[in-house]
Amino acid sequence: MGRLFAVEIVYRGIFQKNLAKNISRGIALAARHAGKMGISFGRYGDSPERNGIPAKSFAVIGTDEETLQEGMAKYEPKEVDVSIAVDDTLFKGVESWAWYGLQPINRLLRPGGTLIVTSMNGPEALIPMAHRKETPYRLAILKGTPSFSGLWVYKDDHTDVRVLGAIAKVLPDLFTIDDVEKAILEEWSAPLKVTSARKAHERITTRVVSPSEGNLEKTFEFELPKWYEMREGVSIPSIARGAAMTDPVTQQTGGYRPVRNPTFKKYTTRTMRPVVNFDTCVKCTLCWLQCPDSCFDVTPDALYDANMEACCGCGVCEAVCPVENCVTMVNETAFTDNASQWEMWKKDKPAYAAWLQEKIQHKPERSHGFRYRGQYEEQLPPMMEIAGGAGPEDESDKEG
Amino acid sequence: MAQAVEKVATSPKEHDALISGSEAIAVACKLADVDVITAYPIRPYDTVMQYVAKLVSNGELDCEYIVAESEHSQFEIVKHASAAGARVFCGSSGVGWMYAFEALTVTPALRIPMVAMVGNRALDDPGAFGVEHNDALAVRDLGWQLVWVDNAQEALDTALIAYRVAEDRRVFLPCAIACDGAFLTHSQSQVKIPPQEWVKRFLPPYNRGDLLLHPDNPITVAPQVNEDWLMEIRKHNDEAMKRSKTVIREAYAEFAKIFGRDYGNPFFEEYQTQDADVVLVGMGTLSMPVKVAIRRMRAEGKKVGFVRIRWFRPFVAEELAATLGRFKAVGIIDRDFSFGSPYTSGVLATEVRAALYPAEKRPPVLAFICGLGGREVTVPDVQRMSEMLLRAAAGERQPLTTWVGIRE
């Protein structure tokens, strides 16, 4: 009996679909050069064509054909040697559109496995976002912003091969950096990408995450009922109607908070969230009206509180708000919980004003899209610097 | 909307009428007080929609009568109406039924007790009006109850029974009544039409219960699911179809009590099988020439019998196998085809062979393809099949599948 390897790539729907596929294909191709056989596939129940939905690709590798069969005809492996998060906000958990509940980012990692993440943050910011795991695992940070490489006009920033180089380092039994080089030349015929892969391979370091570290939140999940416990006729009870909200200070009731699906929340789709300056809100209703997920609760004082258990972070509210700096989208890594902003504001307005200022003062980068024309071009040089020193000019030559 | 005028409703007695199988189905719709009927013309089913239209315009039937723009919409409309608590009727033929196929697949999945009439017609191409059973049989795996009738009286009675069975909470599955095009749909014969009172006693109101689509019962129907859910949902339908056998037996027993017509075994009719050496098995109106031929052969001392299958779904495999095990050879007449099937026979032959496999006594089974495209099944055809069966019974080797009545 040979050995079976599994690697998962957790990514954001649409934006990183091709990136994830490039990585899982690259793993299978590099493994072939290491004398192994592999398959590359996406989790079938996912909906990778939906904006930002957490989704997964997998590479399963066997040292021989019969061993590989044990990893085939499955939706996902039960355990993986390496998990790769190509967006660090996925550390907050993964809820597939296919309704598997909220899954911790490290759920499939086998004891001692490695979680590789592309991030500009350090372990002190990342580890508290990930749920605690009973067994220790290793964390490897590949410096970089969430890559859209492979999506339409976005340039190839070499994230795919940098990840391959990192895997060769953390799981050398799977393949070596030399195998990665052969696979890159075979798949992309790009020597510069080999350089990037080797740089990532040299630089990547890991740190052990112990069971005492991480987010204590209990992820929401559900029991799958027996067939005779289920309603007939493919029917389910509807979500109940909503109710009035209560002012945490005055206890005044009013407004309306819809009841939402308790087992399908979708908020891990979010890579950024709106923060609202309630003092400048003119109650125009546009955010509430235009929100595609009906995430705004109507407060007793007729304000609109974006409910973080429902918000998918699309940014439509920011776009439609007619008041300057009333709604600002802020990267999800800046937050540790889903608490109500309105309640915080009601309880302590000066404290809220300070909190708000702290969140928006840097005008942090949007996780997708840009704040102004030309911003992408400005971002390229530092990104290439991080990746290994190859300038964008070199890159465009390659693409020509 | 027109109010129904109850012309015969208070009559305590049944009355005779000369009507076709299609008219009989339309009359059953009236007697069952159907709420929503959709229609789209295709021969031979269209005769039903014409008679229904006449009943509505005459004020005899008070229902929503909707002529859809296609069969697909036709079946979708009644599916939704049924989910909202309406008793519904629909129907089609041949490729019209096939055009509705997506709607036909979702109807049993949603446990919709729709009653439909399939005026059996050959599938295109070539365009042909004559009877083949492939249209109705196409839904055999989906959760539709399928019943074949061979005369107009049985069409009327079975339609009433179909509502009672389909709308039983233990079942909640659609039921298609298959009527041979031309021979049944377009041929008028004497039919006893029962009084409304009897039907009211027999057929309780449709109660959708906790599955009712209504603002007071907020439910979501037919959400998308992943691989974690579908097997359990399929199991629901499997169990409902199993329960349907019990409910069918109950319904026929109750029907006999109220209407005075006892069909005996609801699932299949046995004709002169008591002392038979060999039997033919078939569905629909081919029973007529088969019975005639059997009487002639019996006059010659040839002990041939006939088993006419009514309910194809649910299929009473054990009971049928036990019955067929009594004979020395069994011949299945398929008015359908299943190209490339086991022994390149027909659908019914394949099913009967499968039913016999675990049985203790397994007589030789010969398959006959006969009467396709509405070609008449003739007495000489039946005699030829019977002779082959008698030879098989005598131990002589016979071809497993034979096309009978083809020019050659």
User: ipTM of the assembly?
Assistant: 0.88
pLDDT at residue B201, as a whole number:
97
Task: Record the tokens describing residue B196, joined without a space.
Answer: 């409304």
Query: Domain B269-404: which topology?
Result: Rossmann fold (3.40.50)
Residues A343, A332 contacting (CB under 8 angstroms): no
Q: What is the DSSP string of B93-127?
A: -HHHHHHTHHHHHHHHHTT---EEEEEE-PPSSSP
pLDDT at residue A397, as a whole number:
40
Of B109, B227, B232, the CB nearest to A45: B227
Please indicate whether residue B331 or residue A370 has the higher confidence score (pLDDT). Answer: B331
Asked whether the beta carbons of residue A235 and residue B109 sit closer than 8 angstroms, the reply is: no
Of B111, B220, B226, the CB nearest to A232: B111
pLDDT at residue B139, as a whole number:
98
Q: What is the DSSP string of B30-41?
A: HHTT-SEEEE--
Question: Hey, how many other C-beta atoms are within 10 angstroms of the C-beta on A28?
Answer: 20
* CATH homologous superfamily for the domain A4-209: Pyruvate-ferredoxin oxidoreductase, PFOR, domain III (3.40.920.10)
Confidence of residue A388 (pLDDT cuts 50, 70, 90): low
pLDDT at residue B9, as a whole number:
46
Q: What chain A residue is nearest to B173 in terms of C-alpha separation?
A: A233
Predicted confidence (pLDDT) at residue B261 exceeds the cutoff of 50: yes
Spell out which residues of chain A touch residue B235, defining contact as CB-CB under 8 Å: 227
pLDDT at residue A54, as a whole number:
95
B214 at the A interface (CB within 8 A)?
Answer: no
pLDDT at residue B1, as a whole number:
39
Q: How much is the CA Rg of chain A, to the nearest whole Å?
A: 23
Please indicate whether residue A145 or residue A90 has the higher confidence score (pLDDT). Answer: A90
Asked whether the beta carbons of residue B109 and residue A234 sit closer than 8 angstroms, the reply is: yes
Least confident of A57-71, A164-178, A311-325, A368-382: A368-382
Predicted confidence (pLDDT) at residue A379 exceeds the cutoff of 80: no
Q: What chain A residue is nearest to B231 in terms of C-alpha separation?
A: A227
Spell out which residues of chain B touch residue A235, defining contact as CB-CB under 8 Å: 211, 219-222
Q: Which long-range contacts (CB under 8 A, 24 or more apart) does B397-400 make?
A: B398/B364, B398/B366, B399/B366, B400/B343, B400/B345, B400/B365, B400/B366, B400/B367
| Nearest C-alpha neighbor of B268 from the set B277, B279, B281 | B281
Confidence of residue B8 (pLDDT cuts 50, 70, 90): very low
Give A165-192 pLDDT, tens digit per residue: 999 999 999 999 999 999 999 999 999 9
Question: Hey, how many other C-beta atoms are within 10 angstroms of the C-beta on A295?
Answer: 27
Contact map slice: A 194-223 vs B, CB within 8 A: none
A227 at the B interface (CB within 8 A)?
Answer: yes
Spell out which residues of chain B touch residue A227, defining contact as CB-CB under 8 Å: 231-233, 235-236
Residues A295, A310 contacting (CB under 8 angstroms): yes
pLDDT at residue A396, as a whole number:
40
Q: How near does any CA of chain A get to the CA of B111, in Å?
A: 5
Give the span between the Cα atoms of B123 and B96, in whole angstroms: 9
Predicted confidence (pLDDT) at residue A369 exceeds the cutoff of 70: no
Q: How near does any CA of chain A get to the CA of B239, in Å?
A: 10
Mutate to test the interface with B, among A76, A235, A264 (most CBs of B within 10 A): A235
Task: Record the tokens describing residue A321, joined without a space.
Answer: 């708000």
Give A15-68 pLDDT, tens digit per residue: 999 999 999 999 999 999 999 999 999 998 888 888 899 999 999 999 999 999
**E-strand spans in A3-75?**
4-12, 37-42, 54-62
Residue B284: left (phi > 0), alpha (psi -120 to 50), or beta? left
Predicted confidence (pLDDT) at residue A110 exceeds the cutoff of 80: yes
Spell out which residues of chain B touch residue A45, defining contact as CB-CB under 8 Å: 226-227
Predicted confidence (pLDDT) at residue A153 exceeds the cutoff of 80: no
Mean of per-residue pLDDT scores for chain B: 96
Least confident of B189-193, B199-203, B227-231, B369-373: B227-231
Task: Record the tokens describing residue B347, joined without a space.
Answer: 């659908």
The partner residues of A142 in beta bridges, in order of sequence, read: A118
Give the span between the Cα atoms of A374 and B314, in whole angstroms: 68
Q: What is the DSSP string of B242-274?
A: HHHHHHHHHHHHHHHHHHS---SSSSEEEES-T
pLDDT at residue B386, as a whole number:
98
pLDDT at residue A146, as a whole number:
86
DSSP count for chain B of H helices, then E strands? 13, 16
pLDDT at residue A285, as a whole number:
97
A236 at the B interface (CB within 8 A)?
Answer: yes
Mutate to test the interface with A, among B107, B208, B236 (most CBs of A within 10 A): B236
Chain-centre distance for alpha carbon A74: 23
Predicted confidence (pLDDT) at residue A391 exceeds the cutoff of 50: no
Spell out which residues of chain A touch residue B171, defining contact as CB-CB under 8 Å: none
Q: What chain A residue is nearest to B213 in terms of C-alpha separation?
A: A235
Give the span between the Cα atoms of B354 and B350, in whole angstroms: 6
| Assigned architecture for domain A239-360 | 2-Layer Sandwich (3.30)
Give the span between the Cα atoms of A354 and A279, in whole angstroms: 13
Q: What chain B residue is nearest to A222 in terms of C-alpha separation?
A: B228
Give the span between the Cα atoms of A168 and A173, in whole angstroms: 8
Residues of chain B with CATH 3.40.50.920: 269-404
Kindly tell me the burial class for residue A106, based on how many C-beta atoms sit within 10 Å of its own C-beta (0-12, 13-18, 19 or more): buried
Asked whether the beta carbons of residue B226 and residue A237 sit closer than 8 angstroms, the reply is: no
First and final CA of chain B: distance in angstroms? 58
Asked whether the beta carbons of residue B226 and residue A230 sit closer than 8 angstroms, the reply is: no
Give the span between the Cα atoms of B114 and B345, in whole angstroms: 31
Residues 6+ positions from A181 with CB-CB distance below 8 Å: A194, A197, A198
The partner residues of B180 in beta bridges, in order of sequence, read: B120
- 3-state SS, residue B381: helix
Residues A29, A186 contacting (CB under 8 angstroms): yes
pLDDT at residue A48, as a whole number:
87
Q: How near does any CA of chain A get to the CA of B114, in Å?
A: 13
- 3-state SS, residue B387: helix
Q: How near does any CA of chain B get to the CA of A87, in Å?
A: 25
Give B135-194 pLDDT, tens digit per residue: 999 999 999 999 999 999 999 999 999 999 999 999 999 999 999 999 999 999 999 999
Give B283-311 pLDDT, tens digit per residue: 999 999 999 999 999 999 999 999 999 99
Mean of per-residue pLDDT scores for chain A: 91
Percent of chain A with pLDDT over 90: 76
A73 at the B interface (CB within 8 A)?
Answer: no
Spell out which residues of chain B touch residue A230, defining contact as CB-CB under 8 Å: 232-233, 236
pLDDT at residue A157, as a whole number:
87
Of B218, B225, B233, the CB nearest to A238: B218
What is the length of chain A? 400
How many beta-carbon pairs below 8 A join chains A and B? 58
Give B111-123 pLDDT, tens digit per residue: 999 999 999 999 9
Residues of chain B with CATH 3.40.50.970: 15-259
Give A239-291 pLDDT, tens digit per residue: 999 999 999 999 999 999 999 988 889 999 999 999 999 999 999 999 999 99
A231 at the B interface (CB within 8 A)?
Answer: yes
Asked whether the beta carbons of residue A230 and residue B110 sit closer than 8 angstroms, the reply is: no
Please indicate whether residue B252 or residue A152 has the higher confidence score (pLDDT). Answer: B252
Report DSSP state, residue A73.
S
Owner of token pair 């030879």: B391
Please determine, looking at this structure, whether the domain spanning B15-259 carries the CATH number 3.40.50.10800: no
Predicted confidence (pLDDT) at residue A199 exceeds the cutoff of 70: yes
Q: What chain B residue is nearest to A74 in terms of C-alpha separation?
A: B227
Q: How near does any CA of chain A get to the CA of B219, in Å?
A: 4
Average pLDDT over residues B340-368: 98
Q: What is the DSSP string of B171-226?
A: T---EEEEEETTTTTT-EEEEEEPPHHHHHHHSPPP--GGG--BTTB-EEES----
Percent of chain B with pLDDT over 90: 96
Q: What chain B residue is nearest to A237 in terms of C-alpha separation?
A: B219
